[in-house]
Amino acid sequence: MDWLIFLFIWVLTGVAVFCAWGWWRATWEVEKNETSDEKVFKRARHKALKIVREARDRAVEIINDAGSVASNQDAWLDGQVRKATEEKLAGYREMLSKLYEEVKQKAGQEMEEFESAIEKGAVEAEKAVAEKMKMDYDQANAQVEEYRTLKMKQVEEQAQRVMGEVVKRVVGRAIPLQEHKLLIREAIEEARRENVL
């Protein structure tokens, strides 16, 4: 019976030891776990901080680089603009120069043509004036001639009328009655010949 008690005690002690070991083990596991989590957290935090720091540094670097690039870009752009402007200016200058030459040449040509035209025009104008004068002179001559002819005709007609009147008055008074009758007979005979009667 002793042994049973002993065994019982023994077993009980074993169970107690086991329980105690189990409790210790569990606590240890918990502690261990806690430590591990903390470490992981710390490590993660550390890493995160590191990343953030690096990122910040990188950002600063990028910003610095960006500023530099921007200034470089500005300078490049300025350079390009300047270059382009200079090229354009050069082009414009060349074009203007070309235009100037063309205009000059054309103006000179036009001037020559204009002078030639003026010269020709002057000659033609002189010719036209001469022709006009000749025409006017001829016309005036023709008008004078026409007037002279008209006047001559009028004078002739007047003279004829006067002469006719004189002749008629003289003849009219001079014709005797018998002569009148003879003339009337002749007129009637003439009318018969002309088939008027």
The residue ranges that bind another protein (CB under 8 A) are: 156, 159-160, 163-164, 167-168, 171-172, 175, 177, 179-181, 183-192, 194-197
Q: How far is the CB of 174 from another protein (least distance, A)?
A: 10
Which amino acid makes up residue 146?
E
Residue 197 near residue 188 (C-beta atoms within 8 A): yes
- Closer CB to another protein, 32 or 153, in the complex: 153
Q: How far is the CB of 142 from another protein (least distance, A)?
A: 23
- Closer CB to another protein, 14 or 164, in the complex: 164
Q: How far is the CB of 189 from another protein (least distance, A)?
A: 7
3-state secondary structure of 197: coil
- Closer CB to another protein, 84 or 155, in the complex: 155
183: Cβ contacts below 8 Å, ≥ 6 apart: 175
Half-sphere exposure of 4 (CA within 13 A, CB side): 1
Residue 197 near residue 191 (C-beta atoms within 8 A): yes
Q: How far is the CB of 150 from another protein (least distance, A)?
A: 16
- Closer CB to another protein, 1 or 193, in the complex: 193
Phi-psi region of 195 (alpha: psi -120 to 50; beta: other; left: phi over 0): left
